[in-house]
């Protein structure tokens, strides 16, 4: 890929990135998408997605390839890899991909976000050995076992409902007193006899042995206790993947990139779409719209003949 001249480099193949690729490539731009996880990004780990434009319900594992097919048909190219560095150069931007320089006239960052960790002792030690962020991926390993889900939002309730028919029992740990989810999810949760909700409770430690995770230490108003469990699924928010833009474009206090209504960052020729931009509500329909806006803005930028570090 050395010396490859691109019109638009898109980092991330989630909903925003793939939609940006489709729109830009359909207009004749030379587009390359670089993604480390595969098409769909985090969406591919979601069991059921409801009300995605054009679909009442679709599996996350189906949505990713569907988005890639649409981008492929439009003429975009896809590489399974990771962008290690990004810097402005005369005439555009230079990215390091697998140690190889890759030049593009402009860049759309659609890197998405990653699940936030609890940050408690034992969590990282048992990652992949009981601790997970994907119920549909890992739930089958815990048939007949007790698992713990942490969180009170839509994702936590969704994943608890996915786990319920797979495992022996689900303990949903809620730090506060009220859920931050839709009423429909709460109603569905109440109809699952093997889901127990613990309110005003925190997981403060993950325990285990050579076989993997064996339990969690809980803290509530009455003190601490050990809850035996083989799995822990954590859904306590998202952290935007904006490290590539550090020192290049302005970020807000949450680490998200500050953008205009056209998805322009504060760096000329650098655009952002999806979860990583300021004000994102992490909604799929919103990410789809972001991708369209970023693509159109990037196409407009190409037409002006301006690029980072160069006028005219």
Catalytic residues: 134, 137-138
Please give the backbone phi and psi of residue 82, each rounded to the nearest 5 degrees, phi first: -135, 135
Answer yes or no: are the C-beta atoms of 130 and 212 closer than 8 Å.
Answer: yes
> 309: phi > 0 → left, psi -120 to 50 → alpha, else beta; which?
left
Answer yes or no: are the C-beta atoms of 19 and 69 closer than 8 Å.
Answer: no
> Distance between CA 196 and CA 211 in Å, rounded?
25
DSSP 3-state assignment of 141?
helix
Q: How far is CA 302 from the centre of its chain?
A: 28
Helix axes 15-26, 284-304, angle to 10 degrees: 40
Residue 91, CB half-sphere, CA atoms under 13 Å: how many? 8
Neighbours of 81 (CB within 10 A): 14
Answer yes or no: are the C-beta atoms of 208 and 242 closer than 8 Å.
Answer: no
| Both tokens assigned to 210 | 């050579």
> Distance between CA 69 and CA 22 in Å, rounded?
9
Residues contacting residue 199 through CB under 8 Å, at least 6 positions apart: 174, 176, 177
């Amino acid at each position: 890929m050395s010396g490859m001249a691109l019109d638009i480099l898109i980092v991330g193949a989630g909903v925003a990135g793939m939609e940006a690729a489709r729109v830009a490539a359909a207009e004749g731009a030379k587009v390359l998408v670089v993604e480390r996880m595969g098409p769909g990004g985090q969406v591919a780990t979601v069991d059921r997605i409801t009300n995605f434009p054009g679909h009442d319900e679709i599996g996350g594992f189906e949505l990713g390839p569907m988005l890639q097919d649409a981008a492929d048909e439009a003429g975009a190219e896809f590489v399974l890899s990771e962008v290690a560095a990004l810097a402005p150069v005369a005439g555009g931007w230079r990215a390091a991909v697998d140690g190889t320089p890759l030049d593009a006239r402009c860049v759309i960052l659609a890197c998405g976000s990653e699940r936030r960790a609890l940050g408690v002792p034992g969590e990282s030690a048992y990652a992949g050995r009981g601790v997970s962020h994907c119920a549909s991926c890992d739930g089958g390993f815990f048939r007949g076992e007790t698992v713990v889900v942490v969180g009170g939002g839509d994702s936590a309730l969704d994943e608890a409902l996915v786990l319920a028919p797979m495992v022996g029992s689900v303990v949903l740990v809620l730090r506060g007193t009220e859920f931050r989810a839709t009423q429909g999810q709460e109603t569905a949760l109440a109809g699952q006899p093997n889901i127990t909700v613990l309110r005003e409770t925190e997981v403060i430690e993950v325990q285990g042995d050579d076989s993997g995770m064996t339990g969690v230490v809980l803290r509530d108003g009455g003190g601490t206790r050990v809850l035996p469990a083989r799995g822990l699924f954590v859904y306590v928010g998202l952290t935007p993947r904006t490290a590539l833009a550090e020192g290049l474009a302005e970020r807000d206090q949450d680490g998200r990139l500050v953008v205009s209504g056209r998805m322009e960052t504060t760096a000329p020729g650098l655009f952002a779409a999806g979860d990583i931009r300021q004000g994102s509500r992490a909604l799929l329909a919103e990410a789809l719209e972001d991708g369209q806006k970023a693509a159109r803005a990037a196409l407009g930028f190409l037409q002006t003949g301006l690029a980072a570090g160069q006028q005219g």
